[in-house]
A = this chain, B = another copy of it.
Amino acid sequence: MRIVVLAGGIGGARFLLGLKSAAPEADITVIGNTGDDIHLFGLKVCPDLDTVMYTLGGGIHEEQGWGRAGETFAVKSELAVYGVGPEWFGLGDRDFATHIVRTQMIGAGYPLSAITEALCARWQPGVRLLPMTDDRVETHVLIDDPDADGGRKAVHFQEYWVRLRASVPAHAVVPVGAEQSKPAPGVLEAIAAADVVLFPPSNPVVSIGTILAVPGIREAIADAGVPVVGLSPIVGDAPVRGMADKVLAAVGVESTAAAVAAHYGSGLLDGWLVDTVDAGSTAEVEAAGIRCRAVPLMMTDTATTAQMAAEALTLAEEVRA
């Protein structure tokens, strides 16, 4: 079975661990979000791709969900002594090596997709990991500008998310450069060849939404003629983790499992899993033309997550039948 998964960072990566466990024989292609990529200290950092790569490759800091296990911070400390920031982005020494290799390869002319493949040759994630695009796309968030009366300013997604902890209202989320971007080599081919497409409980705006903003990807998924099944990142009326509610508000979507399904829409989504606490909303989702089931959606460990992934594949088969 060929499965295509659109993934952001922590949520997508943890879901993929479960999916690999639930479908060990499956041929899995992951289309990773690169809208939160950022240049720090002159180095190209790809937080979501790396989180997937480190998680599936066994190098992730498990409790934290991002960054490397056993990490040290000598480089970052030294940069701070030089007065070179930002200090709010936690790059460890091991992680720095990844960004140094990537940046060196970019300087040598390799596209991000080839670089990601090279990095994965070490990590052996057990999936084919593709960036959504080789072009530069950068998610910016429009916030109030305290220095301009009534004015607003755009900040990089990482500044909004990591430095500001999403503590100020997001008025808009803009994937700068997306309109001009092309899917990375292999992306459209993987979708066209897929037996099923899954949306893990990743952020529907800044992760999956950004991937879908690359021209051609949304259309390819809608036209693939295979079941497209998603898992709600909202349980009750709060995100399972992260701050998805903050950016959902920016695009005018309520923080409920049903509202996120409607946001994707029945033109894209065939099936939707909500948590058992949201069982009352399945009728609303189904009324919108999306097959819906309520199952436990808390990714507490790999076994539980594997069960979620299995439920998603079961729902896909129901859709297909």
Contacts and interface: CB of A to CB of B under 8 A. Distances in A.
Interface string A51-85: 00000000000000000000010110111011110
Interface stretch (A95-103, A135-143, A173-181, A227-235): A95-103
Given A42-B100, A84-B101, A104-B41, A94 B122 contact: no
Given A96-B96, A97-B78, A83 B42 contact: no
B119 A93 contact: no
Contacts of A119: 82
Contacts of A81: 122
A107 interface: yes
Contacts of A82: 97-98, 101, 119, 122
Given A82-B122, A83-B122, A104 B42 contact: yes
A104 B96 CA distance: 14
A43 interface: yes
A100 B122 contact: no
Interface in A27-55: 41-43
A75 B77 CA distance: 14
Contacts of A42: 100, 103-104, 107
Interface residues of A, number: 26
Chief secondary structure at chain A's binding surface: helix
A83 B78 CA distance: 25
A94 B74 contact: yes
A304 B96 CA distance: 42
Nearest to A97: B78
Nearest to A108: B42
Contacts of A79: 97, 100-101
A72 B83 CA distance: 21
Given A84-B101, A101-B84, A122-B83, A93 B78 contact: yes
Interface of A: 41-43, 72, 74-75, 77-79, 81-84, 92-94, 96-98, 100-101, 103-104, 107, 119, 122
25 contacts: A41-B100, A42-B100, A42-B103, A42-B104, A42-B107, A72-B74, A74-B74, A74-B94, A75-B75, A75-B93, A75-B96, A75-B97, A78-B93, A78-B94, A78-B96, A79-B97, A79-B101, A81-B122, A82-B98, A82-B101, A82-B119, A83-B122, A84-B101, A93-B93, A96-B96
Which 6 A-B pairs give the minimum distances between C-beta atoms? A78-B97, A42-B104, A74-B93, A75-B97, A78-B94, A79-B97
Given A42-B104, A74-B93, A75-B94, 18 more contacts: A41-B104, A42-B103, A42-B107, A72-B93, A74-B92, A75-B93, A75-B96, A75-B100, A78-B97, A78-B98, A79-B100, A81-B122, A82-B97, A82-B98, A82-B122, A83-B122, A96-B96, A96-B100
